[in-house]
Amino acid sequence: MTDQKIKNMEDFASVSGISRPTLSKYFNDPASVRVSTKAKIEAALEQYDYRPNFYAMNQNRRLTRNIGIVVPYLADPFFAEIARNIENLVIRAGYRPILLSSHGDPNQEIENLALLRDIKPSGILFAPLGRSSNVVALREYTAEFPMVLFDCNVEALNLPFLGHNNIQATDIMVDYLVRTGEPPVFFEMKYPSNPNANKRRLSYIQSMERLRLEPKVYSVEGTGWNFEEIGYEQGLKLIAQRKLVSGTVLFSNDRLAIGFLSAAYEMGLRVGRGSGCALRVAGHDNHPYSRFTCPALTTVSHDYDSIASSSIERLLDLLENRESHNGPRERLFDGKLVMRESA
Amino acid sequence: MTDQKIKNMEDFASVSGISRPTLSKYFNDPASVRVSTKAKIEAALEQYDYRPNFYAMNQNRRLTRNIGIVVPYLADPFFAEIARNIENLVIRAGYRPILLSSHGDPNQEIENLALLRDIKPSGILFAPLGRSSNVVALREYTAEFPMVLFDCNVEALNLPFLGHNNIQATDIMVDYLVRTGEPPVFFEMKYPSNPNANKRRLSYIQSMERLRLEPKVYSVEGTGWNFEEIGYEQGLKLIAQRKLVSGTVLFSNDRLAIGFLSAAYEMGLRVGRGSGCALRVAGHDNHPYSRFTCPALTTVSHDYDSIASSSIERLLDLLENRESHNGPRERLFDGKLVMRESA
DNA sequence: CTAAAAATATTACGCGCGTAAACTTTTTAT
DNA sequence: ATAAAAAGTTTACGCGCGTAATATTTTTAG
């Protein structure tokens, strides 16, 4: 490695003996230049280890081949998981993923789209915050580049959407709980951050009514994304006040259930499906941590893989004009019951 | 809002009646232009909602005022937490945070620094992967911009470092455990992803020897970042084989402990400090989830706030030439014992 | 070996914006 | 009101790279 400073493609052109336009071609697609020049360039790269400025590259390219990924809250292992999944698939498809998290903040969500616009992405895979999203501001961006929604739909944007079948998933869980014991009550946040919550509540009520059972919903206080804390605090309260009308509790999501399990343990309530147990607890999402709760959490898993791969496929269809526009605008994937020890 | 397309500052100059250089000044610092022009610009902004391209801005600026933040694994709530903390402080200091995660991958770590270089950051706050980091490659970047390490030091880079006092923190925990019951054994990964693990093991051994007690370390198999899984699997094995020589287990970090708690629960071992308990379990980190384990996990917390604020302060010192170069290169912050129910 | 085809070199301009210099207008001080 | 100071305008060039057009070289076909 020579210590000469290569600060741009011009410099690298000098030392490598290749013209800058040809270098530009090479960096855009190494296979587009003659093998002998490719070899010369790569030999020079070994010596001087130059690499083009990523943002300058995108500034005036026709096709950038990078794909933005926006998730609502990367600190949530659930999204961390699916984001990694999608990133890998994007790479495999020959594109470059740019992952951004909205940190649960609608302003950050808009900011993320603005930042992505500035690098002229080929397309965007977008999991919106949902009810707190600034729909008016979002609409400004939907016309600028191909965009596919996943995880959470925003109907008003009228975009392709790939997601989890909350109706079916909740229904299968209710069915299981009723078959194996006392019918469940439903526990959710009154003002849920995640819009899927509403569908789950509605589905719970429907399923119960279909089974000629009385639905009972606990909509607890608390806002934000500290779901465990809310499950814990409100769980303590419900248990202490003996307000639970059933020994089986279905939670709107796993994180609430995790908090609740902690409260139940603290109050000395034994959770599980055994005979000595006072309470059955079930979640929704198959959160990465749900395997490690005490007891392990019975829940419904999303079809991660299908959602991730279909989202990308759908976006590529748009990008590469495979005119599958006639396909359904929305596609849902069924959840699977994950039977563990808590219910 | 007019529907005219404003695609760049030139366009916006036309419609706003302000020259482009003045606009440039305004966007760099709104207070740097006359109040009357500021008003005119902002009135035009209301109408046309233009905003400068972030990356083009940084391309030829002397002082970009953006600060890169690189963390090893954002999916870990621990880093998610501290990253959010740092982001806010950076904003408050008048800079712009650019957060990137290495996803536990040394190549991604280098890639992140390369991407940051391309936007010419004023400085970088960097939490390295540690033992798996590509030190040779990292060194290339340390000369290019001011850089401060946090969470995990890489001695070879010889950079300012702000971190957790693993020695003190482990010592205080060992002390507590010995005072309150059976002396602890130590549980860690044989090839830990996190380099702090080594210091913790050494400190455990030292503390035990100082107390004239026999240290006992379990270095279990398993690699990667799925700590809970490793704690769970290896925990099951240790318990089943009755290999634990003490009823008190100190874990290298909370995530391992979380997995172990799950194993203990499954095996019917009651964990806690009460009389009917078979096992005491203690962790390290005060992981966001450690409050919600069953029982709640006794652990040692990092001084998040101090580490975050000092890291930024240190970086700003470098940036603004406050010549505090004579300060100590490394600064450690003591942990605090968090006494919960597990030990 | 020669002509056609393919690849590279040269030149020039564009992307969106920062910034410096020279000049003009507006504001502030006297 | 007038001069000095401050702010704005014009003009020009730079950042690092994409890309088109033309000229030149290299490769392949015959």
pLDDT digits (tens, 9 = 90+) for B65-106: 999 999 998 888 788 888 988 999 999 999 999 999 998 899
Residue B65 to residue B49: CA distance in whole angstroms: 23
**DSSP single-letter state for residue A326:** T
- The reported pLDDT for the residue numbered B326 is 58
pLDDT digits (tens, 9 = 90+) for B176-193: 999 999 999 999 999 987
- The reported pLDDT for the residue numbered B324 is 53
- The dihedral built from the CA positions of residue B297, B301, B305 and B308, taken in this order, carries a sign that is negative
pLDDT digits (tens, 9 = 90+) for A25-60: 999 999 999 999 999 999 999 999 899 999 999 999
- The reported pLDDT for the residue numbered A339 is 98
Q: What is the mean pLDDT of residues B53-73?
A: 94
Q: What is the mean pLDDT of residues B281-308?
A: 95
- The reported pLDDT for the residue numbered A137 is 93
Find which nucleotide's C1' atom is closest to B53's CA: C16
Q: Which of A51, A55, A295 is facing B55, going by the closest CB pair?
A: A55
- The reported pLDDT for the residue numbered A147 is 95
Domain boundaries, chain B: 9-52, 64-162+304-331, 166-301
The answer to whether A56 contacts chain B (CB < 8 Å) is yes
- A vs B, Cβ pairs < 8 A, gives 87
Reply yes or no on whether the pLDDT at A3 is more than 60. Answer: no
pLDDT digits (tens, 9 = 90+) for B26-43: 999 999 999 999 999 999
- The reported pLDDT for the residue numbered B325 is 56
Q: What is the mean pLDDT of residues A88-92?
A: 94
| Residue tagged 């760099």 (tokens) | B28
pLDDT digits (tens, 9 = 90+) for B102-112: 988 999 999 99
What are residue B271's DSSP bridge partners? B279
Reply yes or no on whether the pLDDT at B262 is more than 70. Answer: yes
Reply yes or no on whether the pLDDT at A93 is more than 60. Answer: yes
Residue A305 to residue A287: CA distance in whole angstroms: 14
Reply yes or no on whether the pLDDT at B315 is more than 70. Answer: yes
Q: How far apart are the first and last CA of chain B?
A: 62
- The reported pLDDT for the residue numbered A223 is 87
Measured to protein CB atoms, the chain D nucleotides within 7 Å are 7-12, 14-21, 27
Residue B153's pLDDT band, with cuts at 50, 70 and 90, is very high
- The reported pLDDT for the residue numbered B5 is 81
Q: What is the pTM of this model?
A: 0.89
- The reported pLDDT for the residue numbered B45 is 94
pLDDT digits (tens, 9 = 90+) for A189-207: 999 887 789 999 999 999 9
Q: Which of A54, A265, A296 is facing B262, going by the closest CB pair?
A: A296
Domain A166-301: CATH superfamily is Response regulator (3.40.50.2300)
Reply yes or no on whether the pLDDT at B322 is more than 80. Answer: no
The answer to whether A262 contacts chain B (CB < 8 Å) is yes
Reply yes or no on whether the pLDDT at A76 is more than 90. Answer: no
Residue B286 to residue B81: CA distance in whole angstroms: 11
- The reported pLDDT for the residue numbered A327 is 63
| Residues of chain A found within 8 Å of residue B265, distances taken between Cβ atoms | 294-295
Residue A279's pLDDT band, with cuts at 50, 70 and 90, is very high
Q: Is the CB of B59 under 7 A from strand D?
A: yes
Q: Is the CB of B24 under 7 A from strand C?
A: yes
CATH, domain A64-162+304-331, list 3.30.470.20, 1.10.260.40, 3.40.50.2300, 3.30.1490.20: 3.40.50.2300
| Residue tagged 């340390």 (tokens) | B142
Instruction: List the single range of A127-131, B205-209, B301-305, B320-324 with lowest mean pLDDT.
Output: B320-324
Reply yes or no on whether the pLDDT at A1 is more than 80. Answer: no
Percentage of chain B exceeding pLDDT 90: 81
- The reported pLDDT for the residue numbered B165 is 96
- In angstroms, the CA of A12 and the C1' of D30 are apart by 39
A88's CB contacts (< 8 A; 6+ apart) are: none
Common-topology check for domains B64-162+304-331 and B166-301: yes
Residue among B108, B294, B341 with most chain A CBs within 10 A, to mutate: B294
DSSP-based three-state secondary structure for A109:
helix
Strands of B185-189's sheet, edge to edge? B217-220, B185-189, B248-251, B280-282
B123's CB contacts (< 8 A; 6+ apart) are: B67, B68, B145, B146, B147, B148, B315, B316, B318, B319
Q: Is the CB of B41 under 7 A from strand D?
A: no
- The reported pLDDT for the residue numbered A324 is 54
Please name the residue ranges forming H helices in chain A: 9-16, 20-28, 35-48, 54-59, 77-92, 106-118, 135-142, 166-180, 196-210, 227-240, 254-266, 304-319
- In angstroms, the CA of B64 and the C1' of C25 are apart by 31
- The reported pLDDT for the residue numbered B304 is 87
CA-nearest of B50, B77, B90 to B288 is B77
Reply yes or no on whether the pLDDT at B275 is more than 90. Answer: no
The answer to whether A88 contacts chain B (CB < 8 Å) is no
Buried (b) or exposed (e) across A180-197, using 16+ Cβ within 10 A? eeebbbbbbbeebbbbbb
Question: How many angstroms separate the CA of residue A320 from the nearest CA in chain B?
Answer: 25
Residue A7: φ, ψ to 5°: -100, -15
The DSSP line for B86-99 is HHHHHHHTT-EEEE
Task: List, as ranges, residues 124-163 from A with C-beta within 8 Å of B.
Answer: none
The amino acid occupying position A286 is N
- In angstroms, the CA of A112 and the C1' of D9 are apart by 35
Reply yes or no on whether the pLDDT at A249 is more than 80. Answer: yes
Nearest C-alpha in A relative to B83: A75
Measured to protein CB atoms, the chain C nucleotides within 7 Å are 7-12, 14-21, 27
Among chain A residues 38 through 57, which have CB within 7 angstroms of nucleic chain C? 38, 56
Mean residue pLDDT of chain A comes to 93
Reply yes or no on whether the pLDDT at A322 is more than 70. Answer: no
Reply yes or no on whether the pLDDT at A171 is more than 80. Answer: yes
